[in-house]
């Protein structure tokens, strides 16, 4: 690819020998300076695909002022991960990188920006704040990357991105990368792409081919027991402290190792490492307490958790101190846990693309991985949406035993009841003994009600299909995952339960014990049965006939296709017999349309979608990420499609519903749409940016001017000027200052032990005329307006407290 020696050395040190498909496809295009929109599944090396060409193009630090590359990330975690990758690939170069994310000190970021960085890695909100506060000029930016682009371009960042994009030069190179991108680039028109190249890899395998998935049907009351059953009996996770935690305890007091001998996250025992995804922060707290009570080493992360605590929890999991990480969707994007074995969907995701990002945490970089999903009856429509999105076969129970594959099919089944019951009893015992744990369960159940009320609706077709799937007895059969554990007795028990569940008594409650007696209710039921039973038989016969016809047609079409398709072994193609001229004529000239066709290929607009998989396009879309077809307000639909990573607590559940409807505007004395609140009509202080967009007035708070004054920073250099020689060492201040001020000591206190020493210093200051004892600078006895006011107030208070009427006044 023509990369320089330092960069190749850094890539080799990282352990990469062969580029991944997305890297092979995109790096040459980026080195040619073309705009690229890249889509590939998670764990396929997208971050390296845009970092390697960026470092190759920038090469070294530029003495001219101005950042040359900007990487926009939707979350703090993803930005930190990108910074780590940039530092690893940038070894051997003097490129300067700065991280601008929320939660960090503004003053430190002011100092970093004045040191003339080459690469800026930022979240949109904080970057816009610094741009407005510092009046940054972005005309020097040559390379802009939108990582997880579909998340960035959702309505949450619309105003920030419009302002940032307006300030970027038209000659920039723009890159968009994500694991889920729609085929239509109209949704990304705001990024200002110029003749972009679309690189859409692994469209057929949206998840890793090394990932195996199992889906378990479950009742709501058994979810906690099912989670423990998966950890104990399927993953076989050990309880107690991990090996890494024991080593860390033994190493207390010893000198911390650095360099190649330092403990790495890759050295952690990760064959059992598992991420559990829950719906809300209340579920996370409840499951964390439950798993810790069961003896597991657990970390947890959710949106409103403190930034420092979140970082510590993730680091503990990465280093192998804990085996289980319980999270909301805040960790679904961008957090790269080096070696992860399992993902458990405790709460089934409401959108297919959320599932893709969740299970993308495992089976990365060629490693094997498993995902386990708990599916209740209410989640079945979402499972069918996912099946359509992944274009996979649905296998219920043991229908496809021997043929079905956990890597290529959606395999649905239930747990072995006898094994799971032990875990359910253990959970009930814990809840009965621990009142705090039971209180957390109550809070989580209340939060779940709000969550279910506000999540996206499944498609109408899947809701209809879900009723048939749930009515099928195969959906309640034991999963193929437990084939080795299912013996003949278990099968007989399963069949007996199926017979009991399908049992229909010949008499109703009104007829029991009334044989031979004359009873009004019994007569009514008898007449009703005489009318209903024939119709039921007709429906059953019609359904059986339809199924037989469909099976016969499928067999005929398969046979015809087999006859028409020639055997590949019998077809002998001589590729050498065709000359280059013949090949050029054959493949360069497209087939001409028939004479009867009046369709203009350039201007014709078809009413049918070009893609055959409409569920796939609908699932990938930024503004159609949900699978519900109901049309509504554009902003409302976009909010519904937004994967709001911080909306995992009850406080934020009402936000989607509040976006609908009207509210009273006090200023204009009329009702306005709630969707317009983002433009400042709600009453928040807003100012106009350079692009005309309304932005928060708090972005211009004057803190940068105060910082400059405090740190004695002079005029900021303009874009294109040469930086000061010492800007790197002194945080951009450019000048070293030395303290030379002389101040007089305080008056000596006779009650202090060092009274005589202090008095001696005061006398020396008087002799040298230092500070307030300086020549002509005696004590100022003139009182100002504030001094007079304070004295009067003090005098009045004393009079009210101690003043008494005089004896003359009494008389």
Task: Answer yes or no: do 227 and 181 share one domain.
Answer: no
Structure confidence at residue 576 (pLDDT):
40
Q: Do 684 and 747 fall within a single domain?
A: no
For the beta carbon of residue 791, count every other beta carbon within 10 angstroms.
11
Q: Confirm if 749 and 758 have CB atoms less than 8 A apart.
A: yes
For residue 770 the two structure tokens come to 């230092």
Cα–Cα dist 683/692, whole Å: 18
What DSSP string runs through 658-688? HTSSEEEETTTTEEEEGGGGGGTTTS--EEE
Most confident residue range from 6-20, 170-184, 372-386: 372-386
- pLDDT greater at residue 403 or residue 19: 19
Instruction: Using the Cα atoms of residue 589, residue 594, residue 600 and residue 604 in order, give the sign of their dihedral.
Output: negative
The bridge status of strand 694-696 relative to strand 686-688 is antiparallel
Cβ atoms within 10 Å of 774's Cβ, excluding its own: 13
Asked whether residue 484 is domain-assigned, the answer is yes
Asked if residue 169 is part of any domain, the answer here is: yes
Residues 195 and 216 grouped into a single domain: no
Residue 219: pLDDT band with limits 50, 70, 90: very high
Q: How many residues are present in the chain?
A: 811
Q: What is the pLDDT of residue 620?
A: 61
501 or 71, higher pLDDT: 71
Which alpha helices (DSSP H) does 649-784 contain, by range? 655-658, 703-711, 755-768
Tell me what the pLDDT averaged over the chain comes to: 77
What is the spatial distance between Cα 32 and Cα 334, in angstroms, rounded to a whole number? Answer: 27
Domain termination site, one of 444, 469, 501: 501
Inform me whether the pLDDT recorded for 197 exceeds 90. no
- Band of residue 588 on the pLDDT scale cut at 50, 70, 90: very low
Most confident of the following: 197-211, 304-318, 328-342, 410-424: 410-424
Residues 698 and 133: their CA atoms lie apart, in Å, by 9
Check whether 112 has a pLDDT greater than 60.
Answer: yes
Q: Which of 501, 522, 542 is the last residue of a domain?
A: 501
Q: How far apart, in Å, do the first and last CA atoms of the chain sit?
A: 109
- Across 11-25, 413-427, 512-526, 797-811, the highest mean pLDDT is recorded for 413-427
Q: What is the mean pLDDT of residues 601-620?
A: 63
**So what's the pLDDT on residue 39?**
81
Model confidence band, residue 565 (pLDDT cutoffs 50, 70, 90): very low
Residue with tokens 């305890």: 249
Residue with tokens 């009702």: 671
Residue 375: the pLDDT is 94
Instruction: Give the CA distances from residue 97 to residues 75, 109, 115, 119, 554, in Å, rounded to whole numbers and listed in that order.
Output: 18, 12, 10, 5, 61
| Predicted local confidence at residue 636, as pLDDT | 43
In this structure, is residue 722 part of a structural domain?
no
b/e map 442-475, b = 16+ CB within 10 Å:
ebbeebbebbeebbbbbbeebbebbeebeeeeeb
Sorted by sequence, the CB contacts under 8 Å of residue 504 that are 6+ apart come out as none
Cα–Cα dist 423/430, whole Å: 11
Q: Quick one: which H or E segment has residue 796? A: helix 785-802
pLDDT tens-digit profile of 304-345?
Answer: 788 788 888 888 888 888 999 999 886 555 455 666 889 999
313 with 454, same domain: the answer is yes
Confidence tier at 257 by pLDDT (50, 70, 90): low
Residue-level pLDDT at 618 = 63
Tell whether 16 and 117 lie within a shared domain.
Answer: yes
Asked if 170 and 229 sit in the same domain, the reply is no
Highest mean pLDDT among 179-193, 412-426, 522-536, 672-686: 412-426
Q: Do residues 340 and 292 make contact, with C-beta atoms less than 8 angstroms apart?
A: no
Domain assignment present for residue 410? The answer is yes
Nearest-angstrom CA–CA distance, 110 and 181: 35
Structural domain contains residue 333: yes
Which pLDDT does position 338 carry in this prediction? Answer: 62
Q: Pick the residue with more confidence: 615 or 671?
A: 671
The SS3 assignment for 359 reads helix
Please report the pLDDT score of residue 297 as a whole number. 93
| Mean pLDDT, range 414-436, rounded to an integer | 92
Picking from 501, 535, 555, the residue at the C-terminal end of a domain is: 501
Over residues 462-483, mean pLDDT: 85
**In the predicted structure, residue 393 carries a pLDDT above the cut 80:** yes
Residue 441 has what pLDDT?
A: 95
102 and 45 fall within a common domain: yes
Q: 19 and 72 in one domain? A: yes
Going by C-beta distance under 8 Å and a sequence separation of 6 or more, which residues neighbour residue 79? 71, 73, 99, 101, 121, 122, 123
Helix axes 281-293, 417-433, angle to 10 degrees: 100
Domains of the chain: total? 4
Q: What is the largest CA-CA distance in the chain?
A: 137
Residue 176 has pLDDT above 70, yes or no: yes
Predicted confidence band at 567 (pLDDT cuts at 50, 70, 90)? very low
Supply the pLDDT for residue 37: 86
Task: Report pLDDT for 644.
Answer: 41
Q: How far apart are CA 123 and CA 152, in angstroms?
A: 9
Give the structural domain span for 137. 5-203+706-711
The residue whose two tokens read 């999963």 is 479
User: How much is the average pLDDT of 80-109?
Assistant: 90
Q: Mean pLDDT over residues 356-365, rounded?
A: 78
- Per-residue pLDDT at 628 exceeds 70: no
| Contact assessment for residue 229 and residue 415, using Cβ atoms and an 8 Å cutoff | yes
The confidence score (pLDDT) of residue 99 equals 95
pLDDT > 90: percent of the chain: 25
Tens digits of per-residue pLDDT, 263-309?
Answer: 454 444 457 889 999 999 999 999 999 999 999 999 998 877 887 88
Of the given ranges (336-350, 552-566, 771-785), which has the lowest mean pLDDT?
552-566
In a domain, 556, yes or no: no
And the tokens for 66? 């101005």
pLDDT confidence band for 100 (50 / 70 / 90): very high
Does residue 768 have a pLDDT over 70? yes
On the question of pLDDT at 585 being above 70, the answer is no
Low-confidence winner among 403-407, 529-533, 658-662 (lowest mean pLDDT): 658-662
Question: How far apart are the C-alpha atoms of 547 and 243, rounded to whole Å?
Answer: 57
Least confident of 38-52, 287-301, 379-393: 38-52
370, 453: one domain: yes
Q: CATH number for the domain including 170?
A: 3.40.50.300
283 shares its domain with 332: yes
Share of the chain above pLDDT 70, in %: 71
Asked which of 14-18, 228-232, 604-608 is least confident by mean pLDDT, the reply is 604-608
Is pTM beyond 0.85? Reply is no
355 lies in a domain?
yes
- What is the reported pLDDT for 558? 61
Please tell me which residue, 578 or 444, carries the higher pLDDT value.
444
Q: Are residues 331 and 235 in the same domain?
A: yes
Q: What is the band of 701 on the pLDDT scale with cuts at 50, 70, 90?
A: confident
pLDDT at 307: 74
pLDDT for 633 beyond 50 = no
- In this prediction, residue 326 carries a pLDDT of 93
pLDDT at residue 225, rounded to an integer: 95
- Return the top range by mean pLDDT from 243-252, 428-437, 774-783: 428-437
Position 583 scores a pLDDT of 36
For the chain, what is the radius of gyration of the CA atoms? 35
324 and 450 inside one domain: yes
Higher local confidence (pLDDT), 599 or 195? 195
Per-residue confidence band for 412, with pLDDT thresholds at 50, 70 and 90:
very high
Of the candidate ranges 10-19, 189-198, 302-311, 646-655, the one whose mean pLDDT is the lowest: 646-655
Residue 578 belongs to a domain: no
């Amino acid at each position: 690819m023509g990369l320089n020696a330092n960069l190749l050395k850094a890539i080799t040190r990282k352990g990469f020998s062969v580029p991944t498909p997305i890297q092979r496809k995109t790096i040459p295009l980026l080195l040619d300076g073309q705009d690229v929109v890249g889509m590939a599944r998670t764990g396929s090396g997208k971050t390296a695909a845009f970092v390697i060409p960026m470092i190759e193009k920038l090469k070294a630090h530029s003495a001219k002022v101005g950042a040359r590359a900007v990487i926009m990330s939707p979350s703090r975690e993803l930005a930190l991960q990108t910074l780590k990758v940039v530092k690893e690939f940038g070894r051997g170069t003097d490129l300067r990188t700065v991280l601008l994310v929320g939660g960090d000190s503004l003053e430190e970021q002011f100092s970093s920006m004045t040191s003339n960085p080459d690469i800026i890695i930022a979240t949109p909100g904080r970057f816009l704040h610094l741009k407005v506060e510092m009046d940054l000029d972005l005309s020097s930016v040559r390379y802009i990357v939108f990582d997880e682009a579909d998340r960035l371009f959702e309505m949450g960042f619309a105003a920030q991105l419009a302002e940032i994009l307006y300030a970027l030069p038209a000659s920039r190179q723009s890159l968009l990368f994500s694991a889920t991108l729609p085929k239509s680039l109209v949704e990304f028109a705001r990024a200002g792409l110029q003749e972009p190249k679309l690189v859409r890899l692994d469209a057929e395998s949206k998840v890793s081919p090394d990932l195996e998935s199992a889906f378990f049907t479950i009742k709501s009351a058994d979810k906690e027991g099912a989670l423990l059953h998966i950890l104990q009996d399927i993953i076989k996770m050990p309880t107690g402290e991990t090996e890494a935690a024991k080593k860390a305890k033994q190493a207390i007091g010893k000198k911390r190792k650095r360099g190649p001998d330092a403990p790495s996250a890759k050295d952690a025992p990760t064959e059992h490492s598992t991420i559990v995804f829950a719906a809300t922060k209340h579920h996370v707290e409840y499951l964390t307490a439950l798993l810790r009570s069961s003896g597991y080493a657990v970390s947890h992360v959710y949106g409103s958790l403190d930034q420092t605590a979140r970082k510590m929890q993730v680091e503990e999991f990465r280093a192998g101190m804990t085996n289980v990480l319980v999270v909301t969707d805040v960790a679904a994007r961008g957090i790269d846990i080096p070696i992860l074995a399992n993902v458990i969907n405790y709460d089934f995701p409401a959108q297919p693309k959320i599932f893709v990002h969740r299970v993308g945490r495992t089976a990365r970089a060629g490693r094997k991985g498993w995902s386990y999903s708990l599916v209740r009856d209410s989640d079945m429509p979402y499972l069918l949406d996912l099946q359509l999105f992944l274009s996979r076969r649905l296998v219920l129970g043991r229908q496809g035993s021997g043929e079905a594959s956990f890597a290529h099919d959606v395999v649905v089944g239930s747990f072995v009841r006898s094994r799971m019951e032990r875990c359910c009893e253990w959970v009930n015992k814990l809840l009965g003994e621990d009142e705090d744990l039971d209180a957390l369960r109550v809070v989580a159940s209340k939060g779940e009600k709000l969550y279910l009320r506000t999540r996206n609706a499944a498609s109408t077709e899947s809701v209809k299909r879900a009723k048939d799937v749930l009515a099928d007895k195969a959906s309640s059969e034991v999963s193929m995952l437990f084939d080795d554990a299912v013996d003949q007795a278990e099968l007989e028990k399963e069949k007996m339960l199926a017979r009991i569940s399908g049992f229909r008594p010949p008499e109703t409650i009104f007829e029991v014990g009334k044989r031979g007696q004359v009873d009004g209710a019994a007569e009514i039921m008898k007449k009703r049965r005489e009318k209903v039973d024939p119709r039921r038989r007709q429906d059953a016969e019609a359904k059986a006939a339809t199924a037989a016809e469909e099976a016969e047609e499928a067999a005929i079409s398969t046979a015809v296709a087999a006859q028409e398709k020639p055997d590949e072994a019998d077809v002998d193609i001589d590729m050498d017999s065709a000359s280059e001229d013949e090949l050029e004529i054959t493949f360069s000239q497209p087939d001409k349309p028939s004479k009867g066709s009046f369709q203009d290929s350039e201007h014709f607009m078809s009413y049918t979608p070009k893609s055959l998989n409409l569920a796939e396009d609908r699932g990938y879309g930024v503004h159609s990420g949900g699978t519900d077809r109901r049309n509504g307000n554009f902003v409302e639909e976009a909010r519904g499609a937004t994967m709001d990573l911080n909306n995992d607590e009850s406080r934020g559940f009402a936000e989607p519903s509040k976006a609908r409807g009207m509210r009273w505007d006090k200023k204009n004395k009329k009702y306005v749409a709630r969707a317009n609140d983002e433009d400042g009509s709600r009453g928040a202080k807003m100012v106009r940016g350079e692009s005309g967009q309304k932005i928060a007035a708090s972005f211009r708070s004057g803190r940068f001017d105060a910082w400059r004054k405090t740190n004695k920073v002079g005029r900021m250099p303009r874009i294109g000027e040469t930086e000061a020689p010492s800007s790197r060492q002194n945080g951009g201040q450019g000048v070293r200052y030395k303290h030379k001020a002389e101040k007089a000591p305080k008056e000596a206190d006779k009650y202090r032990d060092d009274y005589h020493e202090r008095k001696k210093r005061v006398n020396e200051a008087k002799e040298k005329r230092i500070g307030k004892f300086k020549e002509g600078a005696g004590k100022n006895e003139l009182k100002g307006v504030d001094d007079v006011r304070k004295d009067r107030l003090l005098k009045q208070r004393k009079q009210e407290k101690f003043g008494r009427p005089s004896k003359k006044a009494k008389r």
